[in-house]
Structure 1
């Protein structure tokens, strides 16, 4: 028997705000979280890109000093957002830890720890390398930190699927709750790689926008002048429960997680399949699990990274799925405001999708000056009322390696 899975808590630390409500408020206001980087290493390395979406609030302003010392920034962001989500869910301390699971993700992991340790080894020798280096850099460190903080003893799992990671984690949480592995799951993702090496590497791939003179307008999904994505950082977490469990404890419910699906392009290590066939199958799979029809979908939070080829590939996938119904769907591309949080981006956009349903408002896409005629979507550019009827919404994430993950949320 299929169980109804619901969202009872949200938390985020993003370029737009230190919490989920702050991030949502700034998003609706049309603000940009993208800024010039004020670090000596930008000039030192002569970086071709000098801006990014740094988190608005540093974890050191929220966490205990000892926690900051023992966690990579990626795990710090994860812990901040997970604790916010848990508190937002009512801090259900009476829940048996054996029935609480963690499905968390990252695209890269503890990069700052790894590269700082390498610098220490080269400059000062092996005796000066911190003994906590490995536990700080391992990709599962964020999931482990959350599991120990809550606590969670059902399981603690880590997804690493590039930019699809945290959407995949949410899809997996749905399956784990359906399978009865837990009654409550904290799901989400994190990333903190605003560092000279990833900036240089992404730039070498011609993947990043180079609008150094106008950072706040650099991420331009669907615009004819889009020239690449903007690197972002932060984390987002959601608390998921079976409806039966949530109602029994009197929890507030934001929305229903109606289904999720994961597919693979098997096409190219970085480029998406231009036909969008596997991405389309992921959307159809999420709809099938949600027992929904195409006409039920009225909103999509698109992956929409602002790359020339990626935006068109996603449009092709949407057209494959929805056909004549596509003009009826309000599409939001929120990376225009946040940048691309890589392994954390899907969870943040899932929260924006959840809040869009909860508040019946599709968030705006900023920086769209001249829409690409090859992508004739109904793009939301000012906050839009979604009406009072039951609404199904999709949140799409597609990553390097051909990873596709889609989750479907239903208004509750």
Structure 2
């Protein structure tokens, strides 16, 4: 008889919003099927879980000799966590969700499947693929041009589909690539958008919004490309001095000093808010802004993009994710810019600001688009994971 438990193996529950957003689908899945949700994590309790199982602290408290070992440094505790997560969840659950589809997820899933086989059981694994154009380019290289291409083909074409039964991806283009290139089963690969936990917000006309541009994310992380946004804004504000830039998210003091040294950001209408602890406050910031900019060097389906769409903010993003093109459709040509090109970003923003009627047209169409980001739609797609 199947145990009434569903496991979420998620290494870090470090972000204050993860519990209500990124991993929320796991709780909803457990509720719709009557299974208790057990979460396996490294660093803290997951409030929505029926039980949190913590990674053994002793594994992190390694000796200096081990920490200095090159093999350990190349693997890091993540691989150990993946092995532990797969083994530990196999003891408790017959179905698990792993985040995200990649080597770590494969290690967890394969370990889980192996120990379920020892128990004489099947075990079901569901994962989410975080596919951006850069990740696909990297995987294409591994499959076609790397020295170990035959090893990677065996891993991607046979082992990963065996280990991970069901896989959701945020774009139709991503699903096509998974089915065509990685030989995934089309019936067990489906499209679901990321969905934020929404809060009631006041509907504000585009013309009544502040002349404000907002960024939300890990500010000092190089892959988020915030320096390109700052460069573009400095160019933009010379033509449009009535606009200001709001930057939301964690940043290091060293990053701030670097930005001040290179761009003198304190001389411009740029506000660094750091982490916004209240999600209601964050959504209010979105809803007050006219434009949301995400200048990342690579992305899959970032939650901040979805949040901006659901708050009717016009998104202006680097052209690194299939999800932008699919969601924005015809408006993508106005809202996407070349990654790592601050001049192109400044041009796109300036064009939208100068053509206010176009901005209002895009803005009015976003409300229809936002209806795609629904928990009910996502749950309808993935509910078969636990009914297998």
Query: Taking structure 2 as the reference length, what is the TM-score of the superposition?
Result: 0.29
Which of 1 and 2 has greater Rg? 2
Query: Comparing both chains, which one has the higher relative contact order based on Cα–Cα distances under 8 Å and sequence gaps of 6 or more?
Result: 1
Report which of the two has the higher share of helix: 2
Report which of the two has the higher share of strand: 1
Query: Taking structure 1 as the reference length, what is the TM-score of the superposition?
Result: 0.28
